Amino acid sequence: MRWYGSKFDTVTLKQIRQVAGVTGVITTLYDMPAGEKWTREAIQQMKSEVNASGLHISGIESVNVHEDIKTGSRSRDKYIENYIETLENLGKEDIHLVCYNFMPVFDWTRSELARMRDDGSTVLAYNQADIDKIVPEEMFASIADDMNGTVMPGWEPERMAKVKELFEEYKDIDEEKLFGNLKYFLKAIMPVCNKYDIKMAIHPDDPAWSVFGLPRIIINKKNILRMMNMVNDVHNGVTFCSGSYGTNRENDLPDMIRSLKGRIHFAHVRNLRFNSDSDFEEAAHLSSDGSFDMYEIMKALYDTGFSGPIRPDHGRMIWDESAMPGYGLYDRALGASYLNGLWEAIKKNNKTI
């Protein structure tokens, strides 16, 4: 399960440890601004806290990429140097999985953080018409009230303070340039990844299309295969996030997983429910609550020999929990149990007699 650290998360390591089948956490130094070096001491401290609870660190989500690397501006080399040092320190601490994204300005985008469902649970939701009415600079203010006093990934106040400037920096960046900047970044970090066997796992853009006119490239099979081929190294890999790729209903999720065999290092498995082509909400993990066939998704991961960590992703807010939207304990624990159940059944069914 994902854990934001004791300073930020409402969920404790002890609670996570009590979810049957969960042995590790995906974590980060959450207050580290993008572009800064992570020291070995800070990593060691995070690690010993997790280990003391009886869990281990399964990987980092995220080491964020500085905007200057994405825009390819002159100062990018300095930030790439810092990224390399961070990777080196993670490698020395025996951490071998790093999730990151290459989305301009915003991380994920939603129009609502607490849409009420019939059963009284609340979920994150996306409605295109509502997004079209929002001015990007006001996006932060419009959702801040629903954050339950937490800081949400990708929506940190420092980042939002600079939104206008950031849009300016992207005005000449199209998809081709963004691909080029990603390639430049990956080529530069591959040697350190090879040295320490660090698997980089890019997270898809969420939703998987351009939002507010900004370019987005990690959105479908064609683009992700292009990315895999442009730096053809096993350490240049993927976080397969079903809820993000699945926003585009043309993406055939099990087929994408099969075509990325060997390059998926990390999986976020969650379900969405589509109310129309331009409106979706995050559902419970169970197939019948949403639009995805979760069995087929897990089966494709199993069949392709996937051996990295799988985590439940955003959960609904249920049982009156107050937590970071998407990251409460209860529904993610239910999600983890369900995914473990699917995995066990698939595994047993595949046993040759």
Which residues are marked as active site?
Answer: 203, 241, 268, 313-314, 327
For ligand CS2, the closer of residues 64 and 121 by Cβ is 64
- Piece in contact with ligand CS2 (CB under 6 A), picked from 49-57, 96-104, 165-173, 255-263: 96-104
- Residues of span 274-313 touching ligand CS2 by CB under 6 A: 313
Tokens of 236: 């240049």
SS3 content of the chain, % helix, strand, coil (to 5): 40, 15, 45
Q: What's the CA gap between 20 and 341, in Å, rounded?
A: 11
For ligand CS2, the closer of residues 43 and 202 by Cβ is 202
- Residues of span 307-346 touching ligand CS2 by CB under 6 A: 313, 326
- Piece in contact with ligand CS2 (CB under 6 A), picked from 51-59, 100-108, 159-167, 210-218: 100-108
Partners of 276 in beta bridges: 279
For ligand CS2, the closer of residues 108 and 240 by Cβ is 108
Q: Binder to ligand CS2 among 9, 13, 25, 61 (CB under 6 A)?
A: 61
Q: Binder to Mn ion among 186, 193, 224, 241 (CB under 5 A)?
A: 241
Binder of residue 61, out of ligand CS2, Mn ion, none (CB less than 5 to 8 A by kind)? ligand CS2
- Piece in contact with Mn ion (CB under 5 A), picked from 56-64, 221-229, 263-271, 278-286: 263-271
Binder of residue 93, out of ligand CS2, Mn ion, none (CB less than 5 to 8 A by kind)? none
Question: Is 336 an interacting residue with respect to Mn ion (CB under 5 A)?
Answer: no
Q: What's the CA gap between 177 and 187, in Å, rounded?
A: 15
Spatial strand order of the sheet with 272-276 comes to 112-116, 122-127, 279-282, 272-276
First CA to last CA across the chain, in angstroms? 34
Question: Is 339 an interacting residue with respect to Mn ion (CB under 5 A)?
Answer: no
Binder of residue 154, out of Mn ion, ligand CS2, none (CB less than 5 to 8 A by kind)? ligand CS2
Supply the minimum distance, in Å, between the C-beta of residue 37 and Mn ion: 26
For ligand CS2, the closer of residues 72 and 154 by Cβ is 154
Supply the minimum distance, in Å, between the C-beta of residue 97 and Mn ion: 14
Supply the minimum distance, in Å, between the C-beta of residue 246 and Mn ion: 10
Q: Where are the alpha helices (DSSP H) in the chain?
A: 13-17, 40-52, 67-71, 76-92, 128-133, 136-144, 157-161, 163-169, 175-196, 221-230, 242-245, 253-259, 294-303, 330-349
Number of alpha carbons in the 13 Å side-chain half-sphere of residue 186? 25
SS3 18: coil
Q: What's the CA gap between 178 and 288, in Å, rounded?
A: 38
Question: Is 2 an interacting residue with respect to Mn ion (CB under 5 A)?
Answer: no
Supply the minimum distance, in Å, between the C-beta of residue 21 and Mn ion: 20
Question: Is 268 an interacting residue with respect to Mn ion (CB under 5 A)?
Answer: yes
SS3 54: coil
Question: Is 193 an interacting residue with respect to Mn ion (CB under 5 A)?
Answer: no
In what helix (H) or strand (E) does residue 323 lie, and over which residues does it extend?
Answer: none
Are 270 and 282 a contacting pair, CB within 8 Å?
yes
- Residues of span 107-126 touching ligand CS2 by CB under 6 A: 107-108
Q: What's the CA gap between 293 and 304, in Å, rounded?
A: 17
Spatial strand order of the sheet with 236-241 comes to 24-27, 56-61, 97-101, 199-203, 236-241, 264-269, 310-312
Question: Is 265 an interacting residue with respect to Mn ion (CB under 5 A)?
Answer: no
Task: Give the β-pairing of 112-116 and 310-312.
Answer: unpaired
Question: Site residues (CB under 6 A) for ligand CS2?
Answer: 61-62, 99-101, 107-108, 153-154, 203, 206, 241, 268, 313, 326
Question: Site residues (CB under 5 A) for Mn ion?
Answer: 241, 268, 313
